[in-house]
Each structure stands twice: as structure tokens, then as C-alpha cells.
Structure 1
């Protein structure tokens, strides 16, 4: 079974004989403030329509690490920016993380990870395990508190468990 679409499909783009590589995660800066600015722009220039944010998440290299601290920081930053925009009158109605669990991405196959849950592709039962980000997000939803990563890790050391 191919692990990526690239294993079965050849994709290139070019301009004047200059091959352009496919994008990867490090090509995109992480800028949570951009979400707040975009929501405020929509409010000011388009009559504040209802907005649902789909597929917001951080791409990381696929590995067996369940300690995805960078994803926690990414999600916390974006949710903080979303809440700031809502407090300023944005009509944002929904926010959906990409994704619940690692999945097959069209161009990257299983090389990248977006999920809150890790899937062991070498296990015949495809065992799933929550990453640190899953625990943090569960804590956020239950407590309605954007605890910092350090604060969350401190609560874990004092016996908090979101399972």
C-alpha cells in the first residue's frame, strides 16, 4: 500500500523551467494574530457575517512522540486570538481543530501529523493514543480556561488526568 499520493502520482509545477517544490509545514509561519486580524477585517468590511473556522491545526512530522508541545502552543495561540476577536464583536460561531486524529493527507500521505491522537500504523489494530494536545484540549473544553502549557503540565504533575 502506498504511504503517500506521491508514491502513485507524480506532481510538479514549474514556471519558466524552474521547478517549484510542494509546500511543507516549515514554509508557513505560525501567526495566531493573523486569525484575529482576519476576523476583525471580516467584521469591518463585510458586515460581520457568521464565520465557522474549519481545519485549523499544526502540521508536524509524523513520529511516535506523544509530547506535541508545539501543537498545544499553536492551538492555545489561535484560540486566544479567536476569543479576542469575539470579545471585539466578531461573529465567529465555531472553531474546529484539524484534526481529531492523524489521517491520510492527499499529497503527504502519512508523512505528516495533524491529529490530537496518534495512530500506530505498524499495529494491525491501528492503536490510537492521545497526544499531549488531546489532553490539553480536553482540559480547555472542560474548564473553559486557556491554561498555558506550563500551567497545564503543572496540573498534570498534581494528578490531573483528562482521560
Structure 2
């Protein structure tokens, strides 16, 4: 089987963004179970651990997920909370330290486990403070952050 180079423009190690599944689940729960209160937790996007701090794909994932949730709420779903996975890069049961879900990069080779905010951390913080649900905010953050032009971990 040939190695996959990309999947609809998504590089290897990342999964395509498709929020229609989340929206469908929320609608089904509303219809089938009498619209119970819902708290969404551990919702995130897997990327390779040593990827760039410019995790624009995670920003797009958060943006589309939150837009989908908002749409579902406007359609009557009783969503009361959302928790992204995860705040920091952590040891994942199936991937160990090879994958990354965190808004903050953790340098596991550093004895102090130094942490570096990714673009998604800045975007999510701005979203929470300003209630902005617009992926175009990525461009603003890229231009303001000093590390964003070339930060990459080998």
C-alpha cells in the first residue's frame, strides 16, 4: 500500500477537519434522548508532536467545532460546556509522545519540561476573551507573535 502524502490537503499525521459529525451527534442526542444537558470534553485535533508552533490546522479545528456547537445550540441543543483536549501536550495512551493535542507545546527532552504557547493557545484565549469565532483571527495573531514566522521543533 503506498504511503499517503496528503488527504484533501491535510498532511500525514493530521486528520481532516469535519465538524458535521459533531453536529450530527448533538442533533441525534437532542432528538433521541429528550435534549439532555451536554458537556463536551476531550475534543481536540491530533498532530505530530514536533510540529510547528503555528498550528493553524488546530485553530481551524477549534473554529469549526465551536461554530458547529453554536449552530447546534441555536437549533435547540442544550450544550452547557466545552472543554478542548488538551491544554498541554501530554502522554497519549496509543501514541505516547509522538502525537500532540495541546494548546501548549511541551519540550519533553528538556529536564524542566519547558512549555511554549502555540498559535491555537493565543487564538483560543482571544476567542474566550472577545467571543470571536473567526479563523481569520489567525492572521492577526501570526503577525503579532514573534515566534510564529519560523518556530519549528526538530
Q: Which runs of 5+ in 1 are unaligned?
A: 1-23
Alignment root-mean-square deviation, CA: 2.1
Specify the structure having the higher radius of gyration (Cα).
1
Distance 2:65 2:134 in 1: 13
Count of aligned positions: 135
Query: Structure 1 residues 110, 92: closer, same or farther in 2, change over 3 A?
Result: same
Checking the alignment, whether the CA contact within 8 Å between 2:56 and 2:138 is kept in structure 1 is no
The residue that corresponds to 1:151 in the other structure is: 137
The two structures have a TM-score, normalised by structure 2, of 0.80
TM-superposed CA distance for 1:30, in Å, is: 2.9
TM-superposed CA distance for 1:25, in Å, is: 5.7
CA displacement, residues 77-132 of structure 1 (integer Å, 9 cap, x when unaligned) = 11100000001110111111000000001121100000000001111111001000
The aligned runs of 1:34-73 (5 Å cut-off) are 34-73=21-60
TM-superposed CA distance for 1:42, in Å, is: 1.0
Checking the alignment, whether the CA contact within 8 Å between 1:64 and 1:118 is kept in structure 2 is no
Distance 2:16 2:141 in 1: 30
Q: Which runs of 5+ in 2 are unaligned?
A: 1-11, 147-154
Checking the alignment, whether the CA contact within 8 Å between 2:55 and 2:119 is kept in structure 1 is yes
Distance 2:87 2:137 in 1: 23
Distance 2:86 2:141 in 1: 25
- 1:130 paired to 2:110: no
